[in-house]
């Protein structure tokens, strides 16, 4: 899915991104955190975002990223004044959908220079979500670059932002990083944990995925992360032993996700979720670590995913993660539009 037709540069996922591109984007993001990030590098370009799902950080950070760089930003919310969109091929469109993504994104490609898309997992079929049907259909339909603002199985800007945030804390030191499953009221998609494990694997960290039995990530993504980790001199391990995972960790990255065994069964998924409330990240769990930083992509449910004391404490770097979103998104915008980011001046 990473290859765009007709020489286009899409930015769709972390799994098949070239290693050089990964490092270039992080370096560009760091440059764009300085004065270069307020230069009109993208003057007159038009960036549009299409949201099939809610957003606060992503929407705001992309709009600000575009405006800071002199581009125009257009926001479109499916279902909020936008036609409902079909993405399947070949059918008779006599149902609820008034427009096909082929037309919707074909048209937007004539009006805009790059397109962001948020399309969460359907959570009905793991196999279908793993094929990224909506994002793939859009990437084929668009004739301008498409950026993934969180799809069924990946959230690549979050992964980039998390890697950048850790580089700022650890430099290029490799560290033990725990991605810990956390409780929730409903099964959530796998996109963020996937992006986190792929990002930290690319950085060569010792990544430990701590989760209760039955809460595995997608096996294909896990295999990709392990391959990327090996190439970067790191490792990705999976355990149900939360305490062992936290021991010696320098980073605790909390996130809830649904049990893949109950995919398409929300009631069963909720019941499975409810059996592990003790996985909330609290001060006691953080005390097992080596004074770890606490990370979360946000939004986060307080005192369910993480205790107030941890989220409000000095180890929490969640706002730094959010700020890094702005900087990496400036980098991916320049990347897909083919605009070089200037080196910092003397």
* Residues binding a second copy (CB under 8 A): 38, 44, 46, 48, 51, 54-57, 59-61, 63-64, 67-68, 72, 74, 76-77, 80-83, 86, 89-95, 97-100, 102-104, 106-112, 185, 298-304, 308, 311-312, 318-319, 322-323, 326
CB of 95 to a second copy, least distance (A): 8
Least distance CB 20 / a second copy (angstroms): 29
Angle between helices 156-170 and 191-202 (to 10 degrees): 40
Decide whether 228 or 305 has the Cβ nearer to a second copy: 305
Minimum CB–partner distance for residue 94 and a second copy (Å): 5
How far is residue 253 CA from its own chain's centroid? 13
Contacts of 96 (CB under 8 A, 6+ apart): 84
| Closest CA relative to residue 310, chosen from 299, 323, 295, 324 | 295
* Choice between 112 and 222, CB closer to a second copy: 112
* Residue with Cβ nearer a second copy (25 or 273): 273
Question: Is 37 or 234 the residue whose CB approaches a second copy more closely?
Answer: 37
Minimal distance, residue 181 CB to a second copy, in Å = 17
Instruction: Tell me: cis bond preceding 299? Omega within 30 of 0 counts.
Output: yes
Residue in 59, 63, 145 with CA at minimum distance from that of residue 108: 145
Under 8 Å between Cβ of 200 and 176? no
**Placement of tokens 């320098």 in the chain:** 250
- Residues 86 and 101: their CA atoms lie apart, in Å, by 6
The dihedral formed by the CA atoms of 15, 21, 25 and 31, expressed in degrees to the nearest 10: 160
Alpha carbons 249 and 254: distance in angstroms, whole number: 13
Q: Which is nearer to a second copy, 90 or 346 (CB)?
A: 90
* Smallest separation (angstroms) from a second copy to the CB of 182: 12
Q: Whose Cβ is closer to a second copy: residue 60's or residue 260's?
A: 60
Q: How far is the CB of 159 from a second copy (least distance, A)?
A: 18
Contact call for residues 49 and 59 (beta carbons, < 8 A): yes
């Amino acid at each position: 899915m990473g290859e765009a037709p007709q020489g286009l540069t899409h930015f769709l996922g972390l799994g098949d991104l070239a290693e050089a591109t990964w490092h270039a984007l992080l370096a560009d993001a760091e440059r764009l955190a300085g004065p270069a990030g307020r230069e009109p590098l993208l003057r007159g370009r038009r960036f549009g975002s299409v949201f099939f799902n809610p957003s606060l950080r992503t929407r705001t950070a992309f709009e600000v990223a575009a405006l800071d760089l002199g581009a125009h930003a257009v926001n479109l919310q499916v279902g909020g004044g936008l036609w409902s969109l079909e993405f399947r091929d070949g059918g008779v469109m006599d149902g609820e959908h008034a427009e096909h993504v082929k037309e919707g994104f074909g048209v937007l490609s004539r009006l805009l220079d790059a397109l962001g898309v948020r399309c969460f997992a359907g959570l009905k079929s793991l196999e279908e979500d793993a094929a990224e049907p909506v994002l793939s259909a859009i990437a084929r339909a668009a004739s301008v670059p498409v950026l993934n603002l969180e799809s069924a199985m990946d959230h690549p800007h979050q992964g980039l932002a998390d890697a950048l945030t850790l580089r700022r804390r650890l430099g290029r030191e490799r560290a033990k990083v725990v991605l810990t499953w956390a409780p929730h009221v409903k099964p959530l998609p796998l996109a963020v944990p996937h992006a986190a494990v792929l990002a930290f694997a690319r950085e060569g960290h010792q990544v430990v995925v701590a989760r209760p039995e039955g809460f595995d990530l997608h096996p294909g993504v896990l295999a990709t992360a392990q391959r990327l980790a090996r190439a970067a001199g790191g490792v990705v391990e999976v355990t149900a032993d939360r305490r062992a995972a936290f021991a010696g960790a320098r980073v605790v990255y909390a996130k809830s996700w649904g049990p893949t065994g109950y995919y398409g069964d929300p009631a069963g998924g909720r019941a499975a979720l409810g059996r592990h409330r003790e996985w909330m990240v609290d001060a006691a769990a953080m005390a097992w670590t080596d004074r770890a930083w606490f990370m979360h992509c946000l939004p986060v449910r307080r005192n369910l995913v993480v205790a107030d004391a941890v989220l409000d404490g000095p180890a929490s770097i969640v706002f730094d993660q959010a700020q890094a979103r702005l900087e990496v998104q400036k980098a991916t915008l320049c990347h897909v539009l083919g605009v070089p980011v200037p080196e910092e001046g003397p």
